[in-house]
Chains A and B, each alone.
Chain A
Amino acid sequence: MTYLIKGARVLGGDPADLLLADGRIAAIGDRLSATGATVVDAGGLVALPGLVDLHTHLREPGREDAETVETGSRAAALGGFTAVHAMANTDPVADTAGVVEQVWRLGRQAGLVDVVPVGAVTVGLRGERLAELGAMADSAARVRVFSDDGHCVADPALMRRALEYVKALDGVVAQHAEEPRLTAGAQMNEGHRSARLGLTGWPAAAEEAVIARDVLLAQHVGARLHVCHVSTAGSVEILRWAKSRGVQVTAEVTPHHLLLTEACAETYDPVFKVNPPLRTDADVEALRAGLADGTIDAVATDHAPHAVEDKESEWAQARPGMLGLEQALSIVVETLVEPGLLDWAGVADRMSVRPAAIGRLDGRGLQAHGRPLAPGEPANLLLLDPAARATVDPAALASRSRNSPYAGRELPGRVVATFLRGVPTVLDGKAVR
């Protein structure tokens, strides 16, 4: 199957043609032609490398009523992703080679994105003893990212051992930074709004204290650390300090923390309940700046589908989390590209190149992600119409769940096409399958 993409602006540059053949980019140039190739008119569209998500909850196995590997993969493809890391907090937990291989296989069957399983750090996410990290690394799923996400690896000694142990696996521990003793019963960011709304506060210090501890541990044992969903200005400061000292730390920020604030909680609508919680305007500003200057390495969605009954309730009883895959790129366009904080190369770096490197997906070979758009590289890419604007309709999403915090919001940018190894998963803005 051969595709000839006409007139795409690669990373926003001058229009060029791209020829995709045998899973790779065969050529990039002016007025390319190829007999038998399917032509895709990309006039006015920006070509970006396929996006890589470090943080997706696909809910399978266990909560197939909320999302499956297949529906989540479709949502990802529509969002311009070609690889997603599937978090381990499924039921059963992905803490054995068997479960990670199951998720990996389901991803292959769906065939819409590369589903990269994350392995749990501790057995059952209980934070008591290490899961068989080596077995997961050596499995067909080739796990490199380990996380108890949803829970913090709170025990400092256990965290230290995890950081050390995965060095032998070329792995990384992705920490959900939340000191549990400081967030018992927490419902939203702690500040003047939580005080007024009578919702138990989640203090910024509960995140920052764990990040500070963990960067010191990572430095001490010479290990890689990745910080999930950074949400506060203070966290950005700590990361900046750690990086300046040479600590091998990377970090991600979610689209929702780049756009929304704690003011959303005033509706008491649990669609805005998420962990870590939405923070203040000042935090949002610091997160945007941190992503722009590279202190924060990546945008990761923390796509968290929930069934209607888990969200259509009282705030305190609702589960935390929101959808993100299908709107992630639009939100980055709105919050960073349009204000001039990030150019298209920067978007490619933070949403494809760096997350792929953190997950060790950036090697050689056809299975790689986050590679440059250049001849010979795997043909993983998306075409974006940056001028399009659309209003988010949760009912129209490919995800099985409807808990989008962006319902009714007009956002810029439309993913017109996504290619995974030269094969379209999305064309004309619609999923191919």
Chain B
Amino acid sequence: MKRHLLEAADLDRADATLVLDTAAQIDQALAGREVKKLPTLRGRTVVNLFYEDSTRTRISFELAAKRLSADVINFSAKGSSVSKGESLKDTALTLEAMGADAIVVRHSASGAPHRLANWVRGSVVNAGDGTHEHPTQALLDAYTIRHRLGRLDGVRVAIVGDVLHSRVARSNVWLLTTLGAEVTLVAPPTLLPVGVGSWPVGVSYDLDAVLPKADAVMMLRVQAERMNASFFPSAREYSRRYGLDARRMAALPDEAIVMHPGPMNRGMEIAADVADSVRSTIVEQVGNGVSVRMAVLYLLLGGSTR
């Protein structure tokens, strides 16, 4: 592993597999135990530096660090660093002086974790930066797919929705293709980035054509406000063309799973009965998130290097 986890695009197949295998070992080690805690990172300090509200991601990292016995500091810098008056660099130097061994950073600006990594000696973990990447989300998604379907090689994954603004989509594109999956992006053309043609994925505007050939379908959150900027005409039209309802779900192959990184807009990109169906891995993804983040922290801070 490198010193930081800044983007899934940085992970080669061996690194990515190591994270997933480590997460699986952690799951086994903790299975059935009353006290879900390992002593691995005792005495180490993990800082959660969150410039954006994301209770679920923060709690997941916090739980992961605590289960590894690390000291956890939550440094909530809501709003931008500039509006708060202190620059990202000054914050970084402060955390450095406090002896942070790892900084888990969530920021609205793409590339903020890369900047941070220039200024600190500890490990930086990207917990979502702007519309760039969210690598631990992709790792937990890959873990979930592998767990449910038994493999990643050759698995056909459809990622559906607002790819343009989605860091989850970007991280999954790089990670899943690195791990041998075949990824197809499905969205209206307005919600695909110009230049997507250079990505190692298929692209479709037609969800119904893709579903019968998908082993996993990952629904991205779509903000209804996007219609105000004319990315699509209305929430209703979006959900009619790109939403996953029970009728569409029936077109999936028998073993196929339905994923969502959360938080969901029920009724927009995903119907309630789909989200709650047996194909849905949504709750499982949340649990896997803790294991995968434990694996990442363990490998960056205490684990073996290869």
A373 to chain B, nearest CB (A): 47
CA distance A193 to B131 in the complex (A): 13
Would you call A315 and B194 a contact (CB within 8 A)? no
* Pair B109/A312 contact, Cβ less than 8 Å: no
Q: In the complex the two chains form, is A198's CB within 8 Å of B89's CB?
A: no
Please state if A199 and B110 are interface contacts (CB–CB under 8 Å).
yes
Contact check, A314 vs B81: say whether CB atoms are below 8 A apart.
yes
Task: Describe A's contact surface by its main secondary structure.
Answer: loop
Does B88 sit within 8 A of A, measured CB to CB?
Answer: yes
Tell me whether A198 and B195 are in contact (CB under 8 A). no
Nearest CB on B from A291, distance (A): 27
Determine if B110 and A315 form an interchain contact, defined as CB atoms under 8 angstroms apart.
yes
Contact B9 A196 (CB under 8 A): yes
Do B193 and A316 touch (CB < 8 A)? no
Contact B87 A194 (CB under 8 A): no
Contact at B89–A268, with CB atoms within 8 Å?
A: no
Residue of B nearest to A269 (CB): B115
Docked CA distance A223–B88 (Å): 48
Residues B82 and A190 in contact, CB atoms below 8 Å apart: no
For B89, what are the chain A residues with a Cβ–Cβ distance below 8 Å?
312-313
Shortest beta-carbon distance from B131 to chain A in Å: 4
Q: How far is the CA of A313 from the CA of B84 in the complex (A)?
A: 13
A412 within 8 A of partner (CB): no
Taken residue by residue from 171 to 211, chain A's Cβ proximity to chain B (1 for < 8 Å, 0 otherwise) reads as: 00000000000000001001111111111110100000000
> B130 near A195 (CB under 8 angstroms)?
no
The answer to whether residues A197 and B88 also contact, given A192-B195, A317-B82, A317-B109 and a CB cut-off of 8 A, is no
Choose among A190, A193, A268 the residue with the greatest number of B CB atoms under 10 Å from its CB. A268
Specify which chain B residues have a CB less than 8 angstroms from the CB of A309 in the assembled complex.
Answer: 87
- 112-144 of chain B: CB within 8 A of chain A: 112, 114-115, 129-133
Chain A residue nearest to B169 (CB atoms) is A198
Contact B109–A314 (Cβ < 8 Å): yes
The verdict on B67 contacting chain A, using a C-beta distance below 8 Å, is: no
Distance to closest chain B CB from A390 (angstroms): 26
Q: For window 54-112 of chain B, which residues contact chain A by CB distance below 8 Å?
A: 80-82, 87-89, 107-112
Minimal beta-carbon separation of B36 from chain A (angstroms): 34
A194 & B193 in contact (Cβ 8 Å cutoff): yes
Identify which of A191, A192, A198, A269 contacts B110 (C-beta below 8 A): A198
Instruction: Using known A-B contacts A314-B88, A316-B109, determine if residue A198 contacts B132 with beta carbons closer than 8 Å.
Output: yes
Interface of B is mostly: mixed
Q: Which residues of B contact A199 (CB under 8 A)?
A: 110-111, 130-132
Give, as a whole number of angstroms, the nearest-CB distance from A132 to chain B: 35
Does chain A have a CB within 8 A of B198?
Answer: yes
* B293: Cβ under 8 A from any A Cβ: no
Question: Shortest CB–CB separation between residue A141 and chain B, in angstroms?
Answer: 35
* Contact between B195 and A193, CB atoms less than 8 A apart: yes
Query: Is B167 at the interface (CB under 8 A from chain A)?
Result: yes
Q: Which residue of B lies closest to A199 (CB)?
A: B110
| Alpha-carbon distance A368/B70, docked complex (angstroms) | 71
Query: A316 near B110 (CB under 8 angstroms)?
Result: yes
Once the chains bind, are B193 and A313 in contact (CB under 8 Å)? Answer: no
Residues in B neighbouring A313, C-beta threshold 8 A:
81-82, 87-89, 115
The smallest beta-carbon distance between A292 and chain B, in angstroms, is: 29
Interface size on B, residues (CB 8 A): 29
Q: Contact at A197–B132, with CB atoms within 8 Å?
A: yes
Interface 1/0 per residue, B187-225 and A, CB below 8 Å: 000000111111100000000000000000000000000
**Chain B CB within 8 A of A244 CB:** no
Q: Is B260 an interface residue (CB 8 A)?
A: no
Distance A314 CA – B115 CA, assembled complex (angstroms):
7
A109 located at the interface, meaning its Cβ lies under 8 Å from any Cβ of chain B in the complex: no
B133 to A198, Cβ gap below 8 A? Answer: yes
- Smallest distance from the beta carbon of A235 to chain B beta carbons, Å? 18
A314-B107 contact, Cβ under 8 Å, with A197-B132, A198-B130, A198-B170: yes
When C-beta atoms are compared, the residue in chain B nearest to A184 turns out to be: B229
Query: When the two chains form their complex, are residues A196 and B170 in contact, meaning their CB atoms are under 8 A apart?
Result: yes
Q: Does A35 contact B (CB under 8 A)?
A: no
**B194/A190 in contact, CB under 8 A:** yes
The residues of A that contact B88 with a CB separation of less than 8 Å are 313-314
Which single residue of chain B is at the shortest CB-CB distance from A191?
A: B195
Residues of A12-59 contacting chain B, CB below 8 A:
none
Q: Which residues of the partner chain A approach B115 to less than 8 Å between Cβ atoms?
A: 268-269, 313-315
Contact (Cβ within 8 A) A198 B131? yes
Query: What residues of A have a CB within 8 angstroms of the CB of B198 in the complex?
Result: 192, 195
Find B196's partner among A195, A203, A315 (CB 8 Å cutoff).
A195
Q: Kindly state the separation between the CA atoms of A240 and B112 in the bound complex, as whole angstroms.
A: 41
A332 vs B194: C-alpha distance when bound (angstroms)? 32
Query: Which residue among B111, B129, B132, B197 has the maximum number of chain A CB atoms within 10 Å of its CB?
Result: B111
Interface string of A325-361 (1 = CB under 8 A from B): 0000000000000000000000000000000000000
Mark each residue of chain A from 89 to 103: 1 if its CB lies under 8 Å from any CB of chain B, else 0.
000000000000000
Determine the distance from Cα of A198 to Cα of B167 in the docked complex, in whole angstroms. 8
Name the A residues within 8 Å of B167 (CB-CB): 198
Chain B residues, CB < 8 A from A197: 110-111, 132
Query: With A and B bound together, what is the CA distance between A187 and B170 in angstroms?
Result: 18
**Are A312 and B87 neighbours in the complex by a CB distance under 8 Å?**
yes
| A269 CA to B116 CA, complexed, in Å | 11
| From A190, A267, A312, contact of B114 by CB (8 A) | A267
Closest to A312 in B: B89
Q: Is the CB of A190 within 8 A of B87?
A: no
- Which chain B residue shows the least CB distance to A268? B111
Name the one of B110, B197, B199 contacting A268, with C-beta atoms under 8 angstroms.
B110
Question: Whole-angstrom distance between the alpha carbons of A317 and B132 in the complex?
Answer: 15
A195 to B192, CA, bound (A): 9
| Residues of A249-305 contacting chain B, CB below 8 A | 267-269
B residues within 8 Å of A by Cβ?
Answer: 9, 80-82, 87-89, 107-112, 114-115, 129-133, 167, 170, 193-199
Known contacts A312-B89, A314-B115; can you find 20 more A-B pairs with CB under 8 A?
A187-B110, A192-B195, A194-B193, A194-B195, A195-B198, A195-B199, A198-B111, A201-B193, A201-B194, A201-B195, A268-B110, A269-B115, A309-B87, A313-B82, A313-B88, A314-B109, A314-B111, A315-B110, A316-B108, A317-B109
List 22 A–B pairs whose Cβ atoms lie within 8 Å, in order of A's numbering: A190-B194, A193-B195, A195-B193, A195-B194, A195-B199, A196-B195, A198-B129, A198-B132, A199-B111, A200-B131, A201-B193, A201-B194, A201-B195, A268-B114, A269-B115, A312-B87, A312-B89, A313-B88, A314-B81, A314-B109, A315-B110, A316-B108
Binding site for B on A (CB under 8 A): 187, 190-201, 203, 267-269, 309, 312-317
The 5 closest A-B pairs by CB, nearest first: A268-B111, A198-B132, A192-B195, A195-B193, A314-B109
